Structure 1
Amino acid sequence: MLESTARNLQSYETVETEPQVKSQEIAVTHKVAISKTESLLLIGLGILTLCLMTALVTMKVSMTSAQNSLDTVTTQISNTTTSNVNLQQEVSELTSYDRLSSFAKKHNLKMSNENVRNVAK
């Protein structure tokens, strides 16, 4: 009773498997010709893009020019306003009561209520 429980591998046929040849699919790319309609559309799109770019640059230049003009006018307004304020201050100083009194004393002038007229608008 010396039988082995191991299988007798020699009794089985050995089958060799042939290496399977994998068929490689080669992707063939074909260039498709562009039709006349598509080429016209591409040309039109290119022209439209160029026109829009030119319009954008033109608008940007005109906007910059307008901004410069606005800055110039704003500066002129500021200078004129400052000049007006200075002139009003000078008028106020020249017509002050103290100055008129000192001028009257220099020239020997006297204030007489009989010669004063009140004018209302």
Structure 2
Amino acid sequence: MLESTARNLENYQTVETGTQTQAKPTTVTHKVAISKTESLLLVGLGLLTLCLMTALVTMKVSMTSAQNNLDSVTTKITNTTTNNVNLQQEVSELTSYDRLSNFAKKHNLKMNNKNVRNVTK
């Protein structure tokens, strides 16, 4: 009977320890005041961020303006090149051998080889 009582005590003790609630560790939070140095650093960081954002926007605007100017100049160059090509074609048509021959026949002109000079550019 002693053995059975001892066994019951062991069971009783284990049951009681099993039902005990374990205490959860509690975290204590305290607000820490910000020092003057930290507040100055935070303000400085905020101002630096603001300045960098302003500089970025300014650079973006100037880059867009430069791109627009480049597009405008490129368009002018393209128009001038097209105009030059058209004028060169017109010069070639006006100085063609057939046109000059027709003009000479129309005005009763003849070719005199003694008066011909070769000109190079």
Would you call these one fold, judging by a TM-score over 0.5?
A: yes
- Structure 2 unaligned spans of 5+: none
Give SS of 1:12's match: helix
TM-score by length of 1: 0.82
Q: Using the TM superposition, give the Cα deviation of residue 9 of structure 1 relative to its aligned residue in structure 2, in angstroms.
A: 7.4
Q: Any runs of at least 4 consecutive aligned residues in structure 1 with deviations exceeding 6 A, and if so which? A: none
Q: Distance in 2 between matches of 1:60 and 1:82?
A: 33
1:4 aligned partner = none
Q: Using the TM superposition, give the Cα deviation of residue 98 of structure 1 relative to its aligned residue in structure 2, in angstroms.
A: 0.6
Q: Distance in 2 between matches of 1:86 and 1:11?
A: 120
2:78 aligned partner = 78
Structure with a larger share of its residues in helix: 2
Q: Using the TM superposition, give the Cα deviation of residue 109 of structure 1 relative to its aligned residue in structure 2, in angstroms.
A: 1.0
Question: Are 1:63 and 2:55 counterparts?
Answer: no
- Structure 1 unaligned spans of 5+: 1-7
Aligned residues: 114
The 3 A distance-change label for structure 1 pair 104 and 9 is farther
TM-score by length of 2: 0.82
Question: Are 1:12 and 2:5 counterparts?
Answer: yes
Paired AA for residue 61 in structure 1: V
The 3 A distance-change label for structure 1 pair 45 and 120 is closer
Percent identity, aligned pairs only, is 76
2:108 aligned partner = 108
Q: Based on CA coordinates, which of the two structures has the bigger radius of gyration?
A: 1
Give SS of 2:84's match: helix
